[in-house]
Amino acid sequence: MGSLTKRVRSTRRLTLCAITASVVVLSSACTTTASDSSGAADSSDRGFLSAEDFATLQDNVKKATARPSFVAPGPPFDASAAKGKKVFVIPTASQLRQCDQIAKDVVALSQKVGMTGTYFQNSGGPAGWIPGMQQAVSQHYDAIVLVCGIDPNLMTPQVKAATQAGIAVIDSGLGDTSDGAKSDPLVTAQTNIPNAQSIRRAMDVAILDHRKEPFTAFLITSNEVPSSVVMEKAIRDEFARYCPKCVLKSTNVAVPDWGTKIQPAVSSALVSDPDIKVVVPIYDGMSAPTAAAIRASGRTDLKMYGCYGGTPEYILQMPKGYPMATNIGPSHLWRAYAVVDQMLRVLTGAGAVPADKAQDPERLFTMDNYQEVTSVPNDGFGAEFPAAYEKLWGLS
């Protein structure tokens, strides 16, 4: 990968909302810290978790923290047929580091196969995306890549105008692999990602860490992003299964409002309910204002769990007192390769692969493995996948 690997090494992604407070009461048993790997434990160590559930959660965490291996999404094809074509790349919001980097990686990877790539800066939401869609149509691009699960239904007329003009619209991370190959009919092709499974693993760490007694958690979500809705359901399901007596409260904040509304929302929640033990910013892009609220509260017992995104800058703050216990997400570069692979298959006539096969893996980072973000290539995801994709494309 050469200079591209060095150039795209950092950053990662997301989170959103307005404000909906919902309380869900759940009931069961909790037990060990994520770092516990002793296997068997007596009932006092397991807390409210059964021996079976305790072992299951420990195994879940162990597998999620391991480095993933490359799996080819489909057969090899000749990517050179896309040479000379143009792609227009729109991130969910440029201020979200991971999404911003993925979008820039897509442009760089497209150039490797002889395409022209254009990055469209925006602040998020339909008001930010629609001008980009219109520009891509008016300037006769061959493809539009939407990054970080932009919901095409929020700009249906513009997406239809693009596809009717013969422009392929590829949506990265639009669906969840739990839905299999399901895809949105508005787009030409998409990639699905294991968001539900990933956020469950982060919740497994929270449950293990607080296993001694049921606890109250405060969730910050962003319902305008499709993956946010999927992940919130997964969080509720995981609590209901393993800690039904836990209480889950939530608030919804739109992406453009993260910088101004998250900190006061979290501060207010912590003041109104001192029983809150866990704070769950669903995306790691929400972690900075959430951390500020936690620090301002003076509560040293509070930590953030969830934090989907895999952004290296946040992960590397974990040993420096940043109140983040988990961070889970993709490699920005792997996600870019996955969506470019899907785009190239469409543009060359090779045919898109099923959305669930076009996925990229995710990894759970805790205090036990955070150092791999810098000690292992591609932010802890290894050196295998770039060469593997380029071999599929006939570049090597």
Statement to judge: residues 58 and 200 lie in one domain: yes
In a domain, 351, yes or no: yes
> How confident is residue 40, by pLDDT bands cut at 50, 70 and 90?
low
The structure tokens listed for 332 are: 């920005």
**Does position 14 have pLDDT exceeding 60, yes or no?**
no
Statement to judge: residues 187 and 202 lie in one domain: no
| Residues 52-79, mean pLDDT to the nearest whole number | 97
pLDDT tens figures, 107-125: 999 999 999 999 999 999 9
The sign of the torsion formed by the CA atoms of 171, 177, 179, 181 equals: positive
Q: Where are the alpha helices (DSSP H) in 116-155?
A: 126-138
Q: When comparing pLDDT for 42 and 82, which is higher?
A: 82
**Does position 359 have pLDDT exceeding 50, yes or no?**
yes
Structural domain harbouring 116:
73-194+331-362+379-392
Statement to judge: residues 200 and 231 lie in one domain: yes
Helix (H, G, I), strand (E, B) or coil at 102: helix
Compute the mean pLDDT over every residue in the chain, rounded to the nearest whole number: 90
> How confident is residue 179, by pLDDT bands cut at 50, 70 and 90?
confident
Helix (H, G, I), strand (E, B) or coil at 177: helix
The number of domains in the chain is 2
**Per-residue model confidence (pLDDT) at position 80:** 96
Statement to judge: residues 235 and 340 lie in one domain: no
pLDDT tens figures, 228-247: 999 999 999 999 999 999 99
How would you list the strands of the sheet with 86-91, edge to edge?
116-119, 86-91, 143-147, 168-176, 189-193
Statement to judge: residues 300 and 182 lie in one domain: no
In a domain, 165, yes or no: yes
**Per-residue model confidence (pLDDT) at position 181:** 87
User: In this prediction, what percent of the chain has a pLDDT beyond 70?
Assistant: 90
**Per-residue model confidence (pLDDT) at position 224:** 85
**Does position 202 have pLDDT exceeding 50, yes or no?**
yes
In a domain, 131, yes or no: yes
State the distance between the two ends of the chain, measured CA to CA, in whole angstroms. Answer: 11
Statement to judge: residues 135 and 188 lie in one domain: yes
In a domain, 49, yes or no: yes
* CB neighbour list of residue 318: distance below 8 Å, 6 or more residues apart: 324, 325, 327, 365, 366, 367, 370
Statement to judge: residues 164 and 43 lie in one domain: no
Statement to judge: residues 38 and 107 lie in one domain: no
Q: When comparing pLDDT for 4 and 338, which is higher?
A: 338
Dmax of the chain from CA atoms?
67
In a domain, 2, yes or no: no
Assign residue 30 the CATH number of its domain. 3.40.50.2300
Q: Whose CA is closest to 347, among 357, 339, 355?
A: 339
Statement to judge: residues 276 and 202 lie in one domain: yes
pLDDT tens figures, 270-323: 999 999 999 999 999 999 999 999 999 999 999 999 999 999 999 999 999 999
Statement to judge: residues 320 and 383 lie in one domain: no
**Does position 25 have pLDDT exceeding 60, yes or no?**
no
